[in-house]
A and B are shown apart, each in its own frame.
Chain A
Amino acid sequence: MIHFSWFLDGSIIGCYLLGTMIAGIMVRKYVGKVEHFLVAGREMNIYLGIASLAATEFGIVTCMYTAQNGYKYGFAGVTPGILMALSMFFVGITGFCIKPLRDSGVITIPELLEKRFGPRIRWAAGVVIVLGGLLNMGVFLRVGGEFLVLVSGLNVKYLEITMTVLLIAVAVYTILGGMLSVLITDFLQFIVMSLGLVVVTILILARVGWSNLVSTVELHYGAGGFNPFVNKDMGWEYVLFFAFLNLAAVLTWQTTIARVLSAKDTKTGQMVYTRTAFFFVCRFLIPGIWGIAALAMLKPDSMTLLSAAMKEQSSLYGMPVFLSTFVPIGLMGLLVAAMLAADMSTDSSYMLTWGGVIYNDIMAPFRKNKWSERRGLLWNRMIVACIGLFLLVFGLWYKLEGDLWTYIGVTGTIYLSSISVLLIACCYWKKANSWGAAGAIIIGAVVPILFLVFEKVPVTKGFAKTIGPYYSGILTYLLTAVAMIVGSLIKPQHIKADVK
């Protein structure tokens, strides 16, 4: 039986939603300039930055896939979280790339790239960032809705309408208050989300027990459940691929880097990184434990309520099915509120930051004459509204065909590989030029797409399987760097400006 009381749990969720909406809308009066809307006037301090970064980078989709990692790989599934924490700590402590980026006073990464590579590369980088980011985000709503349906026992026919109402609520405060509303609501959402995550985890550790979790992992995966290097589905190539991916994400993922750019100064931006770094271990370990608990506690008949398509991915849907009967009434309201908080903070930030790139970089050629603040704000608000509409149509009402993970992996790698190489070269290699940058953008897109095509074509299917997604991913990062070096050396150009 599902433990969800509409009176008790519904009241908790209603109070949370009402509080968030009021806080988000109230701060709209402080938005008078485009800079206020996109980077909160660069007045964000450390603790607000920590809350906002943590809340943004943890959505329901994150919880689902990290729990799936726990279900499929045991404790070894936490490896990407550890790698991300190490990357973020390294970047925060050294200021690698983020120091010159924040010192330059830009609003987005492509704006910095223009100083070294020219306006065309700024525009192309903007397009790659927006395409990669929005297509990646396109699947968030449906997965989030599925979690809520499974946990609360909501009739599946209300999934679309529930998520539509939620997205409209998020869009309203994001359109009105921009980054200010995002920061304030992120703060509230961080508290609710953290409370839910910690309480449910303690309950699992107390009731399922540490010994039960460990013996389940030993039974299913042996030593590979604790060590990624000896896991038959992981190995060194998995670790190396995620090391590249996480470093690139820390340096260039738009929602993450927006916190550095909104910080009141460079030192604050770096401190937000160093102090949030360990959160990324929790981001994988906490839902990972939920996934392992699902593996330990679920019986074969537990999945009978799932649809046929969901049954095929029992590792993904095991965690919400387990929680629906494990978490007691009252606490269930807190869990659902926590997950709604996680999803809303992610959606608002994604809509705003990718909208910022559209306005600041893709529309830059159309803003040759300086626009008034009023006009700029109007355009930014319209862009956020359009992104909301895109998410609604693409992410919720449009049924995505094919493998979800391949889709997320390809869109993510296209963006992260090229933009991270461009950013590193822009900041630290004086010989880097627009030829190298163009080569890196092309190679960064071609290699992952080729791998996808090879996977689908019968003649090359075997070859693609031999290479595998991790070697292909590693190759993409290496070849993108080679393209930057070769392209820059083929045609040396006059250096336009020192970005530092």
Chain B
Amino acid sequence: MITEHWFWFCLTAVCVIWYSTVTVYVAFNGIVDIKHMLEELKKSL
């Protein structure tokens, strides 16, 4: 089953791994972005 439809198997595996990784990565870096954005907006008020 895996070798027969290797494209869809690989795409599914990549999707799950990529999405899990990106979620964690964006969760940490997004907080830094929010902090920076609010600091800049505070200056412009």
Contacts and interface: CB of A to CB of B under 8 A. Distances in A.
Given A30-B42, A195-B23, A281 B11 contact: yes
A289 B23 CA distance: 20
Contacts of A191: 23, 26-27
Contacts of A356: none
Nearest to B18: A278
A194 B19 contact: yes
Contact of B26 (A50, A180, A282): A50
A42 B15 CA distance: 31
Given A30-B41, A41-B40, A46 B33 contact: yes
Nearest to B31: A187
A322 interface: no
Contacts of A187: 30, 34
A414 to B, nearest CB: 32
Interface in B25-39: 25-27, 29-30, 32-34, 36-38
Given A43-B41, A44-B37, A210-B1, A285 B26 contact: no
Contact of A286 (B19, B29, B32, B37): B19
A45 B33 contact: yes
Interface stretch (A139-147, A197-205, A237-245, A396-404): A197-205
A36 B41 CA distance: 8
B41 A214 contact: no
Interface residues of A, number: 42
Contacts of A215: 1
B16 A202 contact: yes
Contacts of A32: 44-45
Interface in A135-174: none
A289 B12 contact: yes
A432 interface: no
Contacts of B44: 32-33, 36, 41
Contacts of B23: 190-191, 194-195, 198
B8 to A, nearest CB: 5
Given A45-B36, A47-B30, A198 B45 contact: no
B35 to A, nearest CB: 10
A32 B42 CA distance: 10
9 contacts: A44-B33, A51-B30, A190-B30, A191-B27, A194-B22, A195-B23, A197-B19, A210-B2, A211-B1
For the complex of A and B, list the 8 residue pairs with the smallest distance between their C-beta atoms, beginning with the closest. Answer: A47-B29, A48-B33, A45-B33, A194-B23, A43-B37, A30-B41, A47-B30, A211-B1
Given A30-B42, A45-B36, 11 more contacts: A36-B41, A41-B37, A48-B33, A48-B34, A184-B34, A187-B34, A198-B16, A198-B19, A198-B20, A282-B15, A282-B18
